[in-house]
Structure 1
Amino acid sequence: MATVLSVSGSPSRTSRTARLLRHVVDARLTAAGHTVLPLDVRTLPAEALLAGDTSDPALARALELFARADGVVVGTPVYKAAYSGLLKALLDVLPQYALAGKAVLPLATGGSTAHVLAIDYALRPVLSSMGAGHIVQGWFVLDRHILVREDGTTTLDGDTGALLGPVVDAFAQALVRGPVLAAAS
């Protein structure tokens, strides 16, 4: 099975984006036998991240996780119709073709459907420029559809889970097909 890097680009400790990622990972990817490596960008040292200091051990480890992964699930809250600045800072320090040959699943969360196009107009072009072998259909989830139960587990409200399932399954299928060679420009 494949190794998947789950990247949360949320700056919040109580992030619905991180909860969505864990839900997707647990319900679909880990259950299917894939190894999932979590990366919460907010835990990286801010000074090293903003300075692009890849010699920092934590940042070097993050880059190593990208190199090891067969696929990457990128989750971000949407702010001002774009992915988070925290995620941007991480993407800026990665090598130009850090996603070469990898399947990528972009996920976004936000408070309004007005932000639904942030995946295709803001995030997808950046992921593509980084050489992603296959960017599957991304998915936007309204914050209010990510529910936290009393026991701390996460559920998805309404049709969200049913609609998200096939998107995650398409990503899992892209992982099974193996690495895709991206054309270098």
Structure 2
Amino acid sequence: MPSVAFEPQVVPEPPVWPQSVVTVVGNPRAGSRTAAAAASVAELLASELGTPYRIDELVDLVTFAPAIFQGERAREVERAALEDAVELVSSASVVVVATPVYKGSYTGLLKSFLDVLRAQALAGAVVVPVTVAAAASHKLLADQHLRPVLAELGASLPVPGVVLEERDLEDLQVVLSGWLRSKAGIVQATTIALQPVAEPTPAR
């Protein structure tokens, strides 16, 4: 009786998860409330997603301002630190980008950093904008201006950003609870969908 050759089954690799949440803060003041709010958003989002949160993955752009604005004239150590930050942000799968509202838009520091990134640097990443405004009348402006720039860099923006007034910072966890319940699942599903498809391995 002739033998029958069976093809090995191909088992698809599961999506790579969990992923950490990288945070970018565009406030030009060190120790800003925007940075504290961004860290809280990233930590709460990471917890909701079941992913690790690492404070060393918070990129506070005021630290890199000399290299961002001076370019090649900056000291080598400053340029190297900026390059590390750019690589961290460019390789992330979830990025929280935070800015205060400055003159009806996001900050020049954040814009200058985004200009440093290569074309499509955020392709494959889910980005959540976070904006902090002093007045209710200005609270949507920075978000409206920032989203097209992030999209131009290839970012996926599947959910509305976190739009805060300064008074919201007093009880941020309560303010964010509804946003997290309704949006975290979309962020996670989109992030998994954007992961590169791994080569399947034959079943043993």
TM-score (structure 2 length as normaliser): 0.74
Counterpart AA for 1:172: Q
- Corresponding residue number in structure 1 for 2:68: 49
- Corresponding residue number in structure 2 for 1:151: none
Q: Is the 8 A contact 1:139 1:167 kept in 2?
A: no
Query: Are positions 1:110 and 2:133 aligned together?
Result: yes
User: Structure 1: how far apart are the matches of 2:159 and 2:179?
Assistant: 12
Query: Are positions 1:77 and 2:92 aligned together?
Result: no
User: Structure 2: how far apart are the matches of 1:94 and 1:116?
Assistant: 26
> Counting helix residues as a fraction of each chain, which structure ranks higher?
2
Could you list the per-position Cα deviations for residues 64-120 of structure 1 after superposition, in whole angstroms to 9, with x for gaps in the alignment?
Answer: 102321121101101111011111111111112111121111110011111232244
Note the aligned Cα RMSD (angstroms): 2.3
Q: 1:129 to 1:52 in 2, by over 3 A?
A: farther
- Once the two structures are overlaid, the 10-residue window that deviates more, 127-136 or 138-147, is 127-136
Q: Is the 8 A contact 2:20 2:46 kept in 1?
A: no
Q: Is the 8 A contact 1:119 1:139 kept in 2?
A: no
After TM superposition, give the deviation of residue 126 of structure 1 in Å. Answer: 0.4
TM-score (structure 1 length as normaliser): 0.81
- Corresponding residue number in structure 1 for 2:189: 173
Could you list the per-position Cα deviations for residues 162-181 of structure 1 after superposition, in whole angstroms to 9, with x for gaps in the alignment?
Answer: 3332334432332233338x
Q: Is the 8 A contact 1:104 1:132 kept in 2?
A: yes
Unaligned runs of at least 5 residues, structure 1: 148-154, 181-185
Aligned-residue identity in percent: 34
Query: Are positions 1:163 and 2:178 aligned together?
Result: yes
Query: Are positions 1:17 and 2:34 aligned together?
Result: yes
User: Structure 2: how far apart are the matches of 1:142 and 1:121?
Assistant: 15
Which stretches of structure 1, 4 residues or longer, exceed 6 Å deviation after superposition?
A: none
Unaligned runs of at least 5 residues, structure 2: 1-17, 197-204
- Corresponding residue number in structure 2 for 1:150: none
Could you list the per-position Cα deviations for residues 47-72 of structure 1 after superposition, in whole angstroms to 9, with x for gaps in the alignment?
Answer: 32113449711111011102321121
Query: Are positions 1:131 and 2:154 aligned together?
Result: yes
Task: Identify the match of residue 91 of structure 2 among 64, 68, 86.
Answer: 68
After TM superposition, give the deviation of residue 15 of structure 1 in Å. Answer: 1.6
Q: 1:111 to 1:130 in 2, by over 3 A?
A: same
Counterpart AA for 1:5: V
User: Structure 2: how far apart are the matches of 1:40 and 1:117?
Assistant: 22
> Counting strand residues as a fraction of each chain, which structure ranks higher?
1
After TM superposition, give the deviation of residue 9 of structure 1 in Å. Answer: 0.9
By relative contact order (CA 8 Å, sep 6+), the higher-ranking structure is 2
What is the count of residue pairs matched by the alignment? Answer: 171
